Amino acid sequence: SPAQIGVTGLAVMGRNLARNLARHGYTVAVHNRTSARTRALVEEFGHEGDFVPAETPEEFVAALERPRRLVIMVKAGGPTDAVIEEFAPLLDEGDIVVDGGNAHFADTRRRERRLRERGIHFVGTGISGGEEGALNGPSIMPGGSEEAHAALRPLLESIAAKAADGTPCTTHVGPDGAGHFVKMVHNGIEYADMQLIAEAYDLLRTVAGYEPARIAEVFRTWNTGRLDSYLIEITAEVLAHTDAATGRPFVDVVADRAEQKGTGRWTVQTALELGVPVSGIAEAVFARSLSGHAALREAAAELPGPRRQVLDEREAARFADQVEQALYASKVTSYAQGWNMMQAASEEYGWGIDLGAVAAIWRGGCIIRAAFLDRVRAAFAADPTLPTLLADAEFAKEIGEAQPAWRAVVATAVRHGVPVPGFSAALASYDALRAERLPAALTQAQRDYFGAHTYRRTDRAGSYHTLWSGDRSEVSADI
């Protein structure tokens, strides 16, 4: 019988996605440039369901029922274009091409436009959850047309992760590149989460004087509360792990250089273009870059800092509680920034993204899956035009209660010379947003001074310029 769907690109992600589909009862055509991978998949996992192996693109396309549904799971970038070029001539009008790789949304917009001209649906789809998610249920973020989504929906819903209330973690995010955009922001938020967790660890270690195993316990406790999330859970696992070779805490034998594959950087680059401040994500990306600058770090290693004194046991326990509050408040602020970015892009590109639905599909399967996403969903369900998460009554109340501890933690970190770019950028963002007046007034006045960039006044309408190099009288800048 013809295959209901096909997967081309059978490295870890594609292979597991194909198995997930087959395990859910779909007949899956499978293809890979190097056909040894195709044969290996069928040999190893053929018993899990109905696979139709194809040696060539022609065989693969011929194996699919019409309109055809095929998923590309190859390395993002050039390889995706190469595969599209190879397959497009073999397809017919109405066929649906899903790109499940980590494409940049701008590439997805370009590819969608090109294939649409040929009558082919192109569905750029964010898939989160790594290998494990692909096999057992990822969070799936499809873009593309409504029509294509309708044809894919039952398959996507059956293979996606399920949230605690049973809802599948997938929704039609919006047209063309919306799915890949949202996946990119997901990864940006993931960077920020990881940085904030790392800062919390650093403070518990150096200021509270806790050993990694004890910090693992602290994280386990936090994971039973409002911070409950996958990343907190794995942090506890990592901190509790002992290196077999040396008997030392594992975290102490790992080189302190964090690498990156680029989705965090894309998020920040895109945020700069959209003019949306995502300082939490930016600081997280920069923190990883800084960690890798060996020469800079070596050159600065002897610079003076404060003498550190570890807190006594009682103070340490109180401090650990404050760190929980600082972590939570910073996390909410960073999610608020990520959501603002999706809001801005949705307006810019006319995507009509349902911001609550995005929170709903991140409750399971993906890397940032956090209990509090259910409340983010509820906040946007109650008010779809909520300008910032921080304005939601419940979050506002919690952050209001956490802010004294948040300030105390940042102040303590600064006093002890522990870098907390994530915590302090989040707090600065919170304080800037709530400020009655910002020193931006002075910035604009400076701009008028050196560049005649004009300014607006608080007391009357219109644009003005002061004749700074003349008699300093004010002239109207309106024509």
Q: Which residues are catalytic?
A: 183, 190
Q: Please name the residue ranges forming H helices in 177-312.
A: 178-206, 212-222, 230-240, 250-253, 263-274, 279-292, 294-300
Residue with smaller CB distance to ligand NBP, 23 or 453: 23
Nearest Cα neighbor of 356 from 399, 330, 385 is: 385
Q: Tell me the three state secondary structure of residue 241.
A: coil
Q: Does 131 bind ligand NBP (CB under 6 A)?
A: yes
Q: Does 251 bind ligand NBP (CB under 6 A)?
A: no
For ligand NBP, the binding residue among 25, 34, 256, 312 (CB under 6 A) is 34
Residues 152/5, Cβ–Cβ less than 8 Å:
no
Residue with smaller CB distance to ligand NBP, 94 or 130: 130
Looking at beta carbons, which residue is closest to ligand NBP?
A: 101
Q: Does 214 bind ligand NBP (CB under 6 A)?
A: no
Q: Does 102 bind ligand NBP (CB under 6 A)?
A: yes
State in angstroms the smallest separation of the CB of 469 from ligand NBP. 55
Residue with smaller CB distance to ligand NBP, 129 or 356: 129
Q: Does 124 bind ligand NBP (CB under 6 A)?
A: no
Residue with smaller CB distance to ligand NBP, 10 or 326: 10
Calculate the alpha carbon distances from 372 to 187, 200, 285 in Å: 17, 19, 24
Token readout for 283 is 């600081």
Strand order in 463-466's β-sheet?
455-456, 463-466, 474-476
69 DSSP assignment:
E
For ligand NBP, the binding residue among 67, 130, 262, 277 (CB under 6 A) is 130
90 DSSP assignment:
G
Calculate the alpha carbon distances from 40 to 4, 8, 34, 309 in Å: 21, 14, 11, 58
Residue with smaller CB distance to ligand NBP, 238 or 396: 238
Q: Detail the DSSP E strand segments found in 321-468.
A: 455-456, 463-466
For ligand NBP, the binding residue among 3, 7, 10, 239 (CB under 6 A) is 10
For ligand NBP, the binding residue among 54, 76, 285, 367 (CB under 6 A) is 76
Alpha-carbon gap, residue 236 to 240, rounded angstroms? 6
State in angstroms the smallest separation of the CB of 256 from ligand NBP. 23
Which is it for the CA torsion 178, 15, 167, 153, positive or negative? positive
Token readout for 204 is 């518990």
For ligand NBP, the binding residue among 2, 12, 289, 383 (CB under 6 A) is 12
Residue at 28: amino acid letter: V
For ligand NBP, the binding residue among 33, 214, 407, 465 (CB under 6 A) is 33
Q: Does 101 bind ligand NBP (CB under 6 A)?
A: yes
Candidates 12-20, 355-363, 423-431, 463-471 — which segment interacts with ligand NBP by CB under 6 A? 12-20
Residue at 70: amino acid letter: L
State in angstroms the smallest separation of the CB of 40 from ligand NBP. 10
Residue with smaller CB distance to ligand NBP, 32 or 279: 32
Q: Detail the DSSP E strand segments found in 62-152.
A: 69-72, 96-99, 121-128, 139-142
Alpha-carbon gap, residue 373 to 352, rounded angstroms? 20
What does 57-69 look like in DSSP terms, one character per residue?
HHHHHHTB-SS-E
User: How many residues of this chain interact with ligand NBP, rule: CB under 6 A?
Assistant: 22
Residues 423/409, Cβ–Cβ less than 8 Å:
yes
State in angstroms the smallest separation of the CB of 136 from ligand NBP. 13
Q: Does 285 bind ligand NBP (CB under 6 A)?
A: no
Q: Does 159 bind ligand NBP (CB under 6 A)?
A: no
For ligand NBP, the binding residue among 23, 24, 39, 75 (CB under 6 A) is 75
Alpha-carbon gap, residue 119 to 54, rounded angstroms? 25
Q: Does 39 bind ligand NBP (CB under 6 A)?
A: no
For ligand NBP, the binding residue among 7, 22, 54, 74 (CB under 6 A) is 74
121 DSSP assignment:
E
Residue with smaller CB distance to ligand NBP, 32 or 270: 32
Q: Does 127 bind ligand NBP (CB under 6 A)?
A: yes
Q: Does 55 bind ligand NBP (CB under 6 A)?
A: no
State in angstroms the smallest separation of the CB of 266 from ligand NBP. 12
For ligand NBP, the binding residue among 79, 94, 262, 419 (CB under 6 A) is 79
The values of phi and psi at residue 408, to 5°, are: -60, -40
State in angstroms the smallest separation of the CB of 133 from ligand NBP. 8
The values of phi and psi at residue 387, to 5°, are: -70, -30
Nearest Cα neighbor of 185 from 339, 373, 80 is: 339
For ligand NBP, the binding residue among 3, 41, 83, 258 (CB under 6 A) is 83
Token readout for 218 is 């602290």
Residue with smaller CB distance to ligand NBP, 9 or 143: 9
Token readout for 398 is 């919690």
Residues that bind ligand NBP (CB under 6 A): 9-14, 32-34, 37, 73-76, 79, 82-83, 101-102, 127, 130-131
